[in-house]
Structure 1
Amino acid sequence: MLDRLNAALDHAEEHLGDTVDVGELARITATSEYHFRRMFSALAGMPFSEYLRRRRLTLAGAEVLAGRRTLLDIAVRYGYGSGEAFARAFRAVHGVGPGEARRDGAALRSQQRISFRLIVEGSSEMRYRIVRREAFHVVGRKARVPLVHEGPNPAIVEHVRGIGPDELRRIAALSDQEPAGVIAATDDLDDSRAEGTTLDYYHGAVARDPGPDDLDSLAVPAGAWAVFEVSGEFPHAIQYLWRDVYTEWFPSNPYRSRPGPELLRTEVSEDGTRGEAELWIPVEEA
């Protein structure tokens, strides 16, 4: 898989001056466009679209300083429809506009080419099982929240605090299958999984039926799920599990992610420092 990812990045590098077809990159990696974007983001720590933007503006910066082309020619060469759009993007990456950079010889930032290599360290085991499920519903309370990679998510904490104990018991009583009890479900994430992008968060229960009208309900189609178990420092052990699933488990197993909500059942110690969790990721055979 890493060889295929590197071949896809080589292909992208050859087309920085025109349109990079992510569908073609997915074909090179023998996966879906959806999974390619998620895999890249997990491995590289940034969305693929952001990596492309930085690489294009790295090469554009070198041409600006070289002074052989006009700024408009450079803008068009790297996919910008106007000098103004190019100037805004250039400033966002380099901290100065292209005109200033050319005039003053400013120091620019460089995004190096990414390549992936496998490093073997020992190595840890991941506990998982594959579960095939009929269609079901996640029933509870929904909020649109920003994605936070590490530490507590204040928007989620506020949302959960707003659900009273009586309503939590009512939601828990709707649970009629695994994962049991009150769970967290995340859906409609941006493919990039970039920090600050938004997602739908459900604090609810997994049930066969859509539940009462006064609660939010998410219909989930039938399919396969990879179920991972983890215990450790809360919430970091759980957040690191998400990372390890995409950077270690997927490259080592004949599955890829498919669209659908990710489900998390968590039990936290009384002092809030440790937790045990099951993470359910929708998957399909690669």
Structure 2
Amino acid sequence: MDWVERTNRAIDYIEENLTGDINYSEAAKAACCSTYHFSRLFAAVTGVTLSEYIRRRRLSLAAFDLQNSNEKVIDIALKYGYDSPDSFARAFQNMHGVKPSEAREKGVQLKVFPRMSFQIIIKGDMEMEYRLEELDFELRIVGKRKTVNTKKAFEEIPALWNGSKKDGFMQKLIDMSWENPKCKLESLLGICGKEAAIMDEEFDYFMGVRYDGVVPEGMEVLIIPSGLWAVFPNVIDAWKRLYSEWLPTSGYELANLPCIECHYPPGHDPDNELWVPIVKK
């Protein structure tokens, strides 16, 4: 079963449970993927978070129900997971631009968010550089974590690093990073997801360095086990192409570990790299 088929099977699970409880772990299981990576995969490939997709699909079906049945608004609200008519009405109006009660009027314009399906489009017009790195020891990373909005990650994460430069935190990490170097990850590190899990609307972004010394006050330790990594230059470009281009044809699966953004000192080529944990299929 290939990557596309597995991901579409996860969509099948979601669609079959739009009027019930949707367990993100079950959706990820259907895709043979960790919850962490499935959430990121979905957002990276589709441009919307998993919870946003579910919300839009439910509100699309709710609009059909309002137009084609005599069900009460409160019953439709409960059917699609809303605890009260008020919360349903707000969500419905935000998407459709009208109140649920107005959706039954003839001539009212509504919106539909269609079911998604995945497929591979072979472009072949731009190569993607990568290398494999085997780390036979666990990474002990020391630093701080911040909460990042998934949809705004490409804006918020650079802002976090800029802020750390201004308040001196970045310099503290730089001073720590070269005390006992022993691998290629001796630079500023951004770990996407503290515990190999990622929330749908937001996730923990851990800013730190590989460090074996005493943990400074106000910082904490993140341990990442040894393993095999695929390494890509240019973090932003790699994130955009990892799930849709490299992974489907690589022969590898994503390991149940966080990805690491490695930001090198000035003058290093490349400026930054994305380290992705993988296992052979």
Q: What interval of TM-score do these two structures reach, taking the shorter chain for normalisation?
A: 0.7 to 0.9
Q: CA deviation at 1:54?
A: 0.5
Q: CA deviation at 1:7?
A: 2.6
Distance 1:165 1:49, change over 3 A: closer
Give CA-to-partner distance per residue, 1:200-244, whole Å, 9 cap, x none: 341x4313x2434336242313231424132xxxxxx42111222
Amino acid at match of 1:250: L
Give CA-to-partner distance per residue, 1:27-73, whole Å, 9 cap, x none: 33223333322222221111212111100100101222335221112
Q: What is the TM-score with the length of structure 1 in the denominator?
A: 0.80
Q: Is the 8 A contact 1:139 1:210 kept in 2?
A: no
Unpaired segments ≥5 residues, structure 1: 231-236
Distance 1:106 1:249, change over 3 A: same
Q: Which residue of 1 aligns with 2:159?
A: 154
Residue 281 of structure 2 corresponds to residue 278 of structure 1 = no
Q: Is the 8 A contact 1:135 1:219 kept in 2?
A: no
Q: Which residue of 2 aligns with 1:205?
A: 209
Amino acid at match of 1:36: F
Q: CA deviation at 1:105?
A: 5.0
Q: Which residue of 2 aligns with 1:233?
A: none
**Structure 1 Cα separation of the partners of residues 23 and 260 of structure 2:** 28
- Secondary structure of the residue aligned to 1:186 is strand
Q: Which residue of 2 aligns with 1:41?
A: 43
**Structure 1 Cα separation of the partners of residues 177 and 142 of structure 2:** 10
**Structure 1 Cα separation of the partners of residues 40 and 210 of structure 2:** 25
Unpaired segments ≥5 residues, structure 2: none
**Structure 1 Cα separation of the partners of residues 21 and 104 of structure 2:** 26
Give CA-to-partner distance per residue, 1:176-202, whole Å, 9 cap, x none: 2223443122243673565xx353341
- Secondary structure of the residue aligned to 1:18 is coil
Of the three residues 247, 252, 264, the one matched with 1:250 is: 247
Amino acid at match of 2:198: D
Of the three residues 213, 236, 239, the one matched with 1:239 is: 236
Amino acid at match of 1:191: I
Q: Is the 8 A contact 2:62 2:80 kept in 1?
A: yes
Of the three residues 80, 83, 93, the one matched with 2:82 is: 80
Amino acid at match of 1:205: V
Q: Is the 8 A contact 1:48 1:192 kept in 2?
A: no
**Structure 1 Cα separation of the partners of residues 115 and 218 of structure 2:** 48
Q: Which residue of 1 aligns with 2:57?
A: 55
Q: Which residue of 2 aligns with 1:234?
A: none
Distance 1:264 1:225, change over 3 A: farther
**Structure 2 Cα separation of the partners of residues 282 and 88 of structure 1:** 41
Give the root-mean-square deviation of aligned CA atoms. Answer: 3.0
**Structure 1 Cα separation of the partners of residues 30 and 77 of structure 2:** 29
Residue 224 of structure 2 corresponds to residue 221 of structure 1 = yes
Distance 1:191 1:95, change over 3 A: farther
**Structure 2 Cα separation of the partners of residues 212 and 24 of structure 1:** 37
Of the three residues 138, 159, 183, the one matched with 1:135 is: 138
Distance 1:105 1:80, change over 3 A: farther
- Secondary structure of the residue aligned to 1:153 is helix
- Range 100-109 or range 61-70, more displaced: 100-109
- Secondary structure of the residue aligned to 2:264 is strand
- Range 90-99 or range 51-60, more displaced: 90-99
**Structure 1 Cα separation of the partners of residues 108 and 160 of structure 2:** 40
Of the three residues 27, 32, 43, the one matched with 2:29 is: 27
Amino acid at match of 2:273: E
Q: CA deviation at 1:250?
A: 2.4
Q: Is the 8 A contact 2:254 2:276 kept in 1?
A: no
Q: CA deviation at 1:103?
A: 4.8
Distance 1:280 1:193, change over 3 A: farther
Q: Which residue of 1 aligns with 2:260?
A: 262
Q: What is the TM-score with the length of structure 2 in the denominator?
A: 0.81
**Structure 1 Cα separation of the partners of residues 218 and 175 of structure 2:** 10
Q: Is the 8 A contact 1:257 1:284 kept in 2?
A: yes
**Structure 2 Cα separation of the partners of residues 15 and 97 of structure 1:** 25
**Structure 2 Cα separation of the partners of residues 107 and 268 of structure 1:** 54
Distance 1:183 1:102, change over 3 A: same
**Structure 1 Cα separation of the partners of residues 169 and 74 of structure 2:** 58
Q: Which residue of 2 aligns with 1:114?
A: 116
